[in-house]
Structure formats: structure tokens, C-alpha cells
């Protein structure tokens, strides 16, 4: 491949050097911020050697080249543009000016939650392992692994302790990440998170029971009674409190003399934010977060397979808009309140959608005889089956829209099936064939059948729909 030539073609089809503000790349895509998106020659980009798809999202124009190729194209591109190397974060920052309020909100949530996902995934998967080891009948009828091997009891308990840690101290993780995102000192944010789960406070998990028993203790501050209750596993109170903390910190720095800044600013920022967290933000946020989680769970459980079908069918279109990033916050809340919610229903539905996109993409490979299309569709389809859908969705299925519709149908039917059997996950992970360890042990069989339904329906319909469309053309 002639990479200098490819890079020049990319520049030309994007409207020339003057239309490109900045550019970076991820594992598979060029990420470019344009001054005027209307100048893009989309058909011309499709015809460039190595291009596997293109789409615009969150103020960025992204061109899919695939692993390895994108690095070389980007290197030549930066040489021709003379803009030097920039990070994805810098590109995202530059793109923010092209985003509306909703897009900025979605991006903000993603920026907060994405860094802490590894901790949540690790804890969730260990929780799944704990469930498998303690569940009766999972390996042997009416017996758990602990029943058969009592000597493993302490090891299993140790696993459970590690699994719970990210959720018990979730406000610490969120406080750090959110405060950094809002422009404050992340370590002050972590301190605020620690305050919300301080050991001297009553256990937030059992708030309703403690309240019903009349065992809630209070601080009496100038006649104001403040509940001594923690906020373990909460999301909204921590996010709002972190925003208040960062805002206070930035405000104080504007007028506090520099020689007093390190003394006054953190002292008053943390004190005021902490006071507001326990008096206003926390009580309201606790109820709001719980109501959102329980409301979605109730809606899912009430509508049953109908709700599952609707959510599953439209999950991929939601991904196109970027709104799926907001689900991270909801899933975190659902997992944190697992005793009440039973886990998250969003992850299994996301898996059904991803598998359907992969299957539909492979269906395009079967339906069409074009070697270039097959060369793109096969690896993209396999990637989607494993949880990475961008190449399949943007590079193939949206181009051959019949395949995208087939995927929506397959996902909807599979999601209806797993919703009927109330399939839920107890961890986040790779939403696809590799998502099995994240699913509740008693839901594995139905989850597996759902994957088969999603794949078979989406693949079959994709082949039929695409062939029919090609015949008409």
C-alpha cells in the first residue's frame, strides 16, 4: 500500500488541509476534527484503498482503516498536514466545540466512567466467580463447590471481599474521576468520596432497614439534624457533589491570594461540598439514583419480553447516537444495588445487539461476491461477535442498510427471549460471545440460547435481504 498517497487522498476528500483542524487515531480509526463537514466527499473516501468505513460522531469524523494500517496512514497524514502528533483526548477536546448540549453530557459521563470500568469489571467478574462457587446445583445437583470442598470456604470469602471492594468504595473512584473531569483536584474528589463511605457512618446498603428500625443516628449542627448514613454504591450523589467541589475550588482560586491558596481553597472546598453532600445533595441524589435503577428494572420486569424486544431492536441505533454511554451510569447503579435489582439487564441486551451486528455483517459476506466487501465483512463480523462493533456497524451494515435492519430484528427477538426469562448480568465485560462470565449462573443457559437466536436470525435475514436488494439493483 502506498501510504503517502492514501494520506493525500484522505486530505483531498476531506476538503483539503484548510478544512482539517486536528487529527489522531485509535486502534482502528482516524479521528479527525473538521472545520466544515459539508466539504467531505464521502463516496470518494469509500473508494480510497484500505478504507473500511466512515462515520461522524461527537464532533469527530472517523475513518476506519483497521489495526496496523491506521498507524501508518496517520503518520503520513500528520507529515502532510504539518500538525504534529496529538492525543485522542486533544482531538476530543477540539471536537467538543462542535457538540450540542446532549452530546457534551454523554461525552462527560463517558469521560468519568470509562477510566473506572476496569475496576468495576474486575470486581463484577470476581463476584460472578463467587456466585458460581456458592450456587447450589451449578456443577452438582443440590450441592455447591463449598459444600463439596469446605476447605475452600475462606478462599471463596476472600474472593467475595475483593469483588465487593470496588462497589463499596465506588464513591472514591467516582469522586476522583468526576472531580478531575470537572476541572478540580482529583485527590480532593477522592477525599470527598472517602467521606461518603466513612466507617463511622451507618451502612448505606441497609438504609431503609436501619431507618425502619429507628436506628439512624444524627449530627445536630445548630439545630439542623443530619443523618449519619453512608453512600456506598451510589452514583448521582457522588457526581453532583464532585461537581460542587470542583466548582467551589475553581471559584476560591479566583480571589484567594496565592500565599493562602493551598490552605484556604482545599479546606473550604471540601468542607462546604461535604456539608452539602450530607444535607442536600446526598438525600436527594440517593433517592433519584435508586428510583432510576428501580424504575428501569420495574419497566423491564413489567413489560417483560415486549420491553426487551423494543430495547434490543433499538440498541444499535442508540449506539449510533452515542447515547449508550449514559447506560454506564445506570448499569453501575444496578450492579451496586444488586441485592434489590438482581443485576443489570442492559449488558445481556447489549450482547444480543452486538452478536446480531456481527452475524448480519457475516451475512453480507455470504450474500455478496465482491472480494473487497468480503475482506472487510469477515474480520469486522468476527470482531463484533467478540464485542467490538464499530467496523461491522459503520463499515458494512449501515452501508448495506438491509443488513442493519436484519441485525435489529435479530437483536429484538433475542432480547425478547432473554427478557422473558429475566436474564441479568452481575458484571460488565465484553458484550458478546465472551460475555458468559459476566452473566448470572442461573441465567447462563437462556443467555446462550439468546445468543444463538440473535446470530441465526440476523445472519439468515441479512443474507436474504441483501441478496434481494442486489437483485433489484
Active site residues: 26
> CA–CA separation, 240 vs 231, rounded Å?
13
Terminus-to-terminus CA distance in the chain, angstroms? 32
- Please choose, from the candidates 133, 116, 107, 124, the residue with its C-alpha nearest in 3D space to the C-alpha of residue 429: 124
Q: What is the β-pairing status of strands 29-34 and 20-25?
A: antiparallel
How far is it, in rounded angstroms, from Cα 344 to Cα 296? 10
> Are the CB atoms for 226 and 278 separated by under 8 Å?
yes
The answer to whether the CB of 336 falls within 8 A of the CB of 167 is yes
Angle at 178 between CA 270 and CA 314, to 5 degrees: 150
Contact (CB, 8 A) for 231 and 202: no
CA distance 239 to 288: 12
CA proximity to 397, closest of 349, 466, 310, 467: 466
| Local structure of residue 152 (DSSP, 8 states) | G
In 3-state terms, what secondary structure has residue 256? Answer: coil
Three-state DSSP class for 159?
helix
Q: Tell me how far apart the alpha carbons of residues 328 and 350 are, in angstroms, rounded to a whole number.
A: 12
Rounded distance between C-alpha atoms, residue 298 and residue 337, angstroms: 14
Residue 188, Cβ density class (10 Å: 0-12 exposed, 13-18 middle, ≥19 buried)? buried
If you ran DSSP here, which 8-state letter would residue 344 be given?
A: B
For residues 245 and 192, is the Cβ–Cβ distance under 8 A?
Answer: yes
CB atoms under 10 Å from CB of 134, counted, come to 18
- What is the Rg, in whole angstroms, of the alpha carbon atoms belonging to the chain? 25
Residue bearing cell 470456604: 153
| Cell 470500568, located at residue | 117
Phi-psi region of 66 (alpha: psi -120 to 50; beta: other; left: phi over 0): left
Q: Which phi and psi angles does 227 have, rounded to 5°?
A: -65, 135
- Asked whether 39 and 15 are in contact (CB, 8 A), the reply is yes
Q: Is 119 helix (H, G, I), strand (E, B) or coil?
A: helix
Residue 242, Cβ neighbours under 10 Å: how many?
Answer: 31
Q: How far apart are the C-alpha atoms of 196 and 348, rounded to whole Å?
A: 31
Amino acid at each position: 500500500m502506498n501510504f503517502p498517497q492514501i494520506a493525500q487522498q484522505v486530505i483531498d476528500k476531506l476538503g483539503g488541509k484548510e478544512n482539517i483542524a486536528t487529527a489522531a487515531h485509535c486502534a482502528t480509526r482516524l479521528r479527525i476534527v473538521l472545520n466544515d463537514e459539508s466539504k467531505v466527499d464521502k463516496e470518494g473516501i469509500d473508494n480510497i484503498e484500505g478504507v473500511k468505513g466512515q462515520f461522524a460522531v461527537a464532533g469527530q469524523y472517523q475513518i476506519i482503516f483497521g489495526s496496523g494500517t491506521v498507524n501508518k496512514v496517520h503518520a503520513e497524514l500528520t507529515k502532510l498536514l504539518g500538525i504534529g502528533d496529538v492525543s485522542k483526548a486533544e482531538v476530543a477536546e477540539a471536537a467538543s466545540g462542535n457538540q450540542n448540549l446532549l452530546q457534551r453530557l454523554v461525552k462527560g459521563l463517558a469521560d468519568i466512567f470509562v477510566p473506572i470500568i476496569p475496576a468495576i469489571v474486575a470486581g463484577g467478574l470476581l463476584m460472578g466467580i463467587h456466585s458460581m462457587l456458592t450456587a447450589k446445583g451449578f456443577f452438582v445437583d443440590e450441592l455447591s463447590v463449598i459444600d463439596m470442598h469446605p476447605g475452600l470456604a475462606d478462599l471463596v470469602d476472600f474472593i467475595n471481599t475483593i469483588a465487593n471492594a470496588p462497589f463499596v468504595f465506588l464513591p472514591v473512584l467516582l469522586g476522583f474521576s468526576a472531580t478531575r473531569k470537572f476541572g478540580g483536584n482529583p485527590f480532593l474528589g477522592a477525599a470527598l468520596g472517602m467521606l461518603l463511605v466513612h466507617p463511622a457512618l451507618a451502612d448505606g446498603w441497609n438504609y431503609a432497614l436501619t431507618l425502619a428500625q429507628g436506628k439512624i443516628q444524627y449530627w445536630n449542627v445548630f439545630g439542623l439534624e443530619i443523618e449519619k448514613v453512608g453512600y456506598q454504591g451510589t452514583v448521582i450523589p457522588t457526581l453532583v457533589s464532585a461537581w460542587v467541589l470542583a466548582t467551589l475550588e475553581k471559584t476560591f482560586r479566583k480571589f484567594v491570594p496565592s500565599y493562602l491558596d493551598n490552605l484556604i481553597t482545599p479546606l473550604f472546598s471540601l468542607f462546604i461540598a461535604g456539608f452539602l453532600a450530607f444535607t442536600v445533595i446526598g438525600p436527594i441524589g440517593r433517592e433519584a439514583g435508586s428510583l432510576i435503577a428501580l424504575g428501569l428494572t420495574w419497566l423491564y420486569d413489567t413489560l417483560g419480553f415486549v420491553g426487551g424486544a423494543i430495547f434490543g431492536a433499538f440498541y444499535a441505533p442508540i449506539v449510533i447516537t452515542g447515547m449508550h454511554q449514559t447506560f454506564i451510569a445506570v448499569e453501575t447503579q444496578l450492579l451496586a444495588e444488586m441485592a434489590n435489582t438482581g443485576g443489570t439487564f442492559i449488558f445481556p441486551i447489549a450482547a444480543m445487539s452486538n452478536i446480531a451486528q456481527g452475524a448480519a455483517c457475516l451475512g453480507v459476506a455470504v450474500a455478496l461476491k465482491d472480494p473487497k466487501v468480503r475482506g472487510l465483512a469477515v474480520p469486522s463480523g468476527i470482531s463484533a461477535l467478540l464485542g467490538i462493533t464499530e467496523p461491522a456497524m459503520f463499515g458494512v451494515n449501515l452501508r448495506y442498510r438491509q443488513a442493519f435492519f436484519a441485525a435489529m430484528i435479530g437483536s429484538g427477538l433475542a432480547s425478547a427471549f432473554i427478557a422473558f426469562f429475566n436474564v441479568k448480568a452481575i458484571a460488565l465485560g465484553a458484550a458478546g460471545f465472551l460475555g458468559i462470565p459476566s452473566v448470572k449462573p442461573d441465567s447462563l443457559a437462556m443467555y446462550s440460547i439468546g445468543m444463538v437466536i440473535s446470530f441465526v436470525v440476523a445472519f439468515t435475514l441479512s443474507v436474504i435481504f441483501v441478496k434481494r436488494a442486489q437483485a433489484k439493483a
